[in-house]
Structure 1
Amino acid sequence: MSEIPIVSNHDLEKYVDRKVVVQGWIHGIRGSNARQFISLRNGGRILQVLAEKEILGEEVFQTVKHLRQETSVSVAGTLVKNEKSSVGFELIMDRIRIVGESENYPITPKEHGIDFLISQRHLWLRSSKQLAILRVRDNLSFAIRKYFHERDFLLIDTPILTGSVGESAGTLFSTEYFDLGNAYLAQTGQLYLEAAIFAHNKVFCYGPTFRAEKSKTRRHLTEFWMVEAEVAFAGHADNLKLQEDFVKTVIKETVQNSLQDLKVLGKDPTPLLAYLEKDFPVIDYTKALEILKLKGEDIVWGDDINSEREQMLTMEFGGPIFIQKYPREAKAFYMKVNPDNPKTVLNADLIAPDGVGEIIGGSEREENYENIILRLEEEKLPVESYDWYLDLRKYGSVPHSGFGLGSERMIAWICGLQHVRECIPFPRMMERLYP
């Protein structure tokens, strides 16, 4: 078998009508006493393998017939075209070698509860829908990086351990850091991106982010991946324009590269793409409250616009919307106070429809040294911990803006999933730290 080329399911078109070897795992098997159809998983994709008793002989055919799910095998045969196959090809087996046995695989093709599946996440990753979701995730990650590199943004790898609070002190994971006191798992890379814009103008980071939020909603994880961007000499309006273009571009590219996977997930992307054909409305927080009151909501200035209210607003406007200029008390210290209404800040959240909710948070940053010290004091944050950050306002400060997007919510929106736990390989939630 070693003389025959070993091929991947990604390279099959190069080997039509040739003898090949494909190595992989038994994803499923069905058939009769004369022939068996094996679904062979390789490279995250499924190749149909036809095993016929007439070709293999009785002994080998019986071995094939009794193969168990997830047995690893090396299969030799002739590769032929088959338009009915998900990959467009079929392998006519003439030899097989078992590499690793699989006994009593716990995730058999039947219904399982979500708690069981999450506990078996290391195995659940092998199922067809999970294969598709993680390919969509990979396509989104590629589209994100491509978007920024094509627009001359520089990737900055920001630290995961930090001594500074980036968002809310109440949602920090902390750990002892030698003799220096507490260190925190990063809530955001933003503060470090702000330092980098003075060297590179336009920067972004993309990596894990941590929030110790005691939330069990379908939209929250304690560890998730966030892409953040920061731009020098950019105001609030520039920021909104960049965010809208970013979201539309990366969704379109991800969908285009994921059509087969979305089909596996039963997700028709047509309604999602239709949202992207029109401008995203921008409304003030104050206007959002007025609309909600007209819909019978008991809501006053300063109240949170929760997930149910977010969806009421997206239904009102028929798609994604920006809600801008929130109360300053509700937002982080680094957001620039709105000069036209000091009770608010120059920020915006992008709210996605279909139950997804907020996918982007962004703002113009406060560039004035004295003003940002006042904001730190308002939030009762230790000014001395931000000495390095304050230096940015002392040596050539400029107006600048940025935003952050959690990729798991974006994946859920693209895939039509009701919970973000399936959008990351190994989800971390309040009640989950295993596997």
Structure 2
Amino acid sequence: MKTTISQVNKFVGQEVTIGAWLANKRSSGKIAFLQLRDGTGFIQGVVVKSDVDEGVFQTAKSLSQESSMYVTGKVQEDSRSPFGFELLVTNVEVIQEAVDYPITPKEHGTEFLMDNRHLWLRSRRQHAVMKIRNEIIRATYEFFNENGFVKVDPPILTGSSPEGTTELFKTKYFEEDAFLSQSGQLYMEAAAMALGKVFSFGPTFRAEKSKTRRHLIEFWMIEPEMAFYEFEDSLKVQEEYVAHIVQSVLKNCSLELERLGRDTSKLEKITVPFPRISYDDAIKFLHEQGFEDIEWGDDFGAPHETAIADHFDKPVFITHYPTKIKPFYMQPAPDRDDVVLCADMIAPEGYGEIIGGSERIHDFELMKKQIEKHNLPLEAYNWYLDLSKYGSVPHSGFGLGLERTVAWISGVEHVRETIPFPRLLNRLYP
């Protein structure tokens, strides 16, 4: 019976065949222990010399790291293993013997591992992070599908930008200038006017020359937009969504979290509602904490966000930022024209902003005024202006950065480990 490692629990006491790679091995004179992986998981294969042909035992002892094979054996429970099962091997059929695999069990430097990212992905740690990433994606679709959202795919090549063109990659679109999208938001607003509640999930690009552990040049965003949803309505969706994906990872990725050494007690606290602090109060709080460098009207840096987040044990909303530091499309607060109805969600444990969202302007004259005030080319935004001209309604939306969210939930320090092939300031290889 051919199966996978993740399915061996269905075949306890039976003989199965698994296509696998050798992650590691150790052996004595009479027993060889093979650490096997097949993409679905890891399992130990035990080869007992007295129970197999001499040729099988010698093959098992001589296998090199990352050699590929078909392994046949009997599935048995093993309480010492985190996985709970092991394979009592009866036969090994080598497909290809790997020679001088570059990533050994010893420590390697970051640059070396990044140069060999195509191989580093095979490690237990990276496997665990990618499985958690996949679970967050699965739970994302589950949440929005169950809550009546429609998946819409905005274009990656655009002629304009939601937030100006200073941090965009410029390219040629035949005879026109075009940009790689930094957000699908404007298009998602159009889709919301047609379909009510929508979400997108796709790659976005930021040409900012940042080297911090929170930044990637290419990353993935989940961007919902909701017609007839005002500011408070949107905050409720955001906290319910984040709580959902955290609980889904706790439920379905316990082995991966354990492999990464993640303190799951911190994740178990992530339940709705989330705390909130206004920008005004955040400035006062930071001053009390000794941050004299920050003034009202400044945007928060990583140390400021971390100081605020450390005051809570859940993600925290920072709301009502100054108008002058936020994009043109955000709805002014009804009682103040110097702040907008927006919120950033800051993850605990120093992982920074994972969501930015706001209520959007739906008044035509105000939207036109804002576009002109920000010196954006009106002709490029005529189609967007149409949304506030023909049947406009209050609407809100937000964007969640997938990689920062994966980093936070999995507990890894740098976002470069949370995407299969990271694009960083000085890295376009492999």
Tell me if both proteins adopt one fold, taking TM over 0.5 as the criterion.
yes
User: In the aligned structure 2, how far is the partner of 1:290 from the partner of 1:255?
Assistant: 35
Residue 360, structure 1, aligned to residue 348, structure 2: no
Cα offsets for 1:199-244 (capped at 9, x unmatched): 2110001111111111101000011111011111111111111111
Cα distance change on mapping 1:320 and 1:13 into 2, 3 Å: closer
Name 1:152's counterpart in structure 2.
148
SS in 1 for 2:331: coil
Match of 1:302 among 288, 297, 300: 297
Residue 237, structure 1, aligned to residue 265, structure 2: no
Match of 1:165 among 158, 161, 168: 161
Q: Which amino acid aligns with 1:229?
A: P
% identity of equivalent residues: 47
Cα offsets for 1:114-136 (capped at 9, x unmatched): 11111110000000011100000
Q: Answer yes or no: is the 8 Å Cα contact 2:312–2:348 preserved in 1.
A: no
| Structure 2 gap segments, 5+ residues each | none
Q: Which amino acid aligns with 1:129?
A: R
Match of 2:65 among 62, 65, 69: 69
Q: Which amino acid aligns with 1:271?
A: K
User: In the aligned structure 1, how far is the partner of 2:46 from the partner of 2:233?
Assistant: 57
Residue 326, structure 1, aligned to residue 321, structure 2: yes
Q: Which amino acid aligns with 2:283?
A: L
User: In the aligned structure 2, how far is the partner of 1:19 from the partner of 1:345?
Assistant: 64
SS in 2 for 1:234: coil
SS in 2 for 1:326: coil
Match of 2:282 among 284, 288, 298: 288
Residue 194, structure 1, aligned to residue 189, structure 2: yes
SS in 1 for 2:263: coil
Q: Answer yes or no: is the 8 Å Cα contact 1:47–1:86 preserved in 2.
A: no
SS in 1 for 2:203: strand
Q: Answer yes or no: is the 8 Å Cα contact 2:4–2:40 preserved in 1.
A: no
Residue 183, structure 1, aligned to residue 178, structure 2: yes
Q: CA deviation at 1:314?
A: 1.8
Match of 1:142 among 119, 138, 142: 138
User: In the aligned structure 1, how far is the partner of 2:257 from the partner of 2:359?
Assistant: 36
SS in 1 for 2:311: helix
Match of 2:97 among 98, 101, 112: 101
- Which segment drifts farther, 80-89 or 253-262? 80-89
Q: CA deviation at 1:15?
A: 2.2
Q: Answer yes or no: is the 8 Å Cα contact 2:70–2:93 preserved in 1.
A: yes
Match of 1:419 among 392, 399, 414: 414
User: In the aligned structure 2, how far is the partner of 1:350 from the partner of 1:200?
Assistant: 26
- Which segment drifts farther, 230-239 or 5-14? 5-14
Q: Answer yes or no: is the 8 Å Cα contact 1:255–1:414 preserved in 2.
A: no
Q: CA deviation at 1:193?
A: 0.9
Structure 1 segment 264-279 matched on structure 2, within 5 A: 264-274=259-269, 276-277=270-271, 279=273
Cα distance change on mapping 1:349 and 1:225 into 2, 3 Å: same
User: In the aligned structure 1, how far is the partner of 2:289 from the partner of 2:43?
Assistant: 53
- Which segment drifts farther, 147-156 or 72-81? 72-81
User: In the aligned structure 1, how far is the partner of 2:165 from the partner of 2:318?
Assistant: 24
Name 2:376's counterpart in structure 1.
381
Cα offsets for 1:14-50 (capped at 9, x unmatched): 3222222111100111120111010111133112111
Q: Which amino acid aligns with 1:253?
A: S
Q: CA deviation at 1:266?
A: 0.6
Q: Answer yes or no: is the 8 Å Cα contact 2:186–2:384 preserved in 1.
A: yes
Q: Which amino acid aligns with 1:251?
A: V
User: In the aligned structure 2, how far is the partner of 1:80 from the partner of 1:321?
Assistant: 46
- Which segment drifts farther, 158-167 or 127-136? 158-167
Name 2:106's counterpart in structure 1.
110
Q: CA deviation at 1:67?
A: 0.5
Q: Which amino acid aligns with 1:322?
A: F
Residue 120, structure 1, aligned to residue 116, structure 2: yes
User: In the aligned structure 1, how far is the partner of 2:217 from the partner of 2:228?
Assistant: 33
Q: CA deviation at 1:197?
A: 1.1
User: In the aligned structure 2, how far is the partner of 1:202 from the partner of 1:278?
Assistant: 21
Q: CA deviation at 1:68?
A: 0.3
Q: Which amino acid aligns with 1:125?
A: L
Cα distance change on mapping 1:316 and 1:84 into 2, 3 Å: closer
Q: Answer yes or no: is the 8 Å Cα contact 2:12–2:77 preserved in 1.
A: yes
Match of 1:396 among 385, 391, 395: 391
- Which segment drifts farther, 94-103 or 8-17? 8-17
User: In the aligned structure 2, how far is the partner of 1:318 from the partner of 1:140?
Assistant: 21
User: In the aligned structure 1, how far is the partner of 2:267 from the partner of 2:89?
Assistant: 42
Aligned length: 429
Residue 131, structure 1, aligned to residue 127, structure 2: yes
User: In the aligned structure 1, how far is the partner of 2:233 from the partner of 2:102?
Assistant: 52
Q: CA deviation at 1:318?
A: 4.4
SS in 2 for 1:49: strand
- Which segment drifts farther, 221-230 or 295-304? 295-304
User: In the aligned structure 2, how far is the partner of 1:63 from the partner of 1:161?
Assistant: 53
SS in 1 for 2:5: coil
User: In the aligned structure 1, how far is the partner of 2:272 from the partner of 2:13?
Assistant: 48
SS in 2 for 1:83: coil
Q: Which amino acid aligns with 1:105?
A: Y
TM-score (normalised: structure 2) = 0.97
Q: Which amino acid aligns with 1:254?
A: V
Residue 204, structure 1, aligned to residue 199, structure 2: yes
SS in 2 for 1:171: coil
SS in 2 for 1:296: coil
User: In the aligned structure 2, how far is the partner of 1:138 from the partner of 1:201?
Assistant: 27
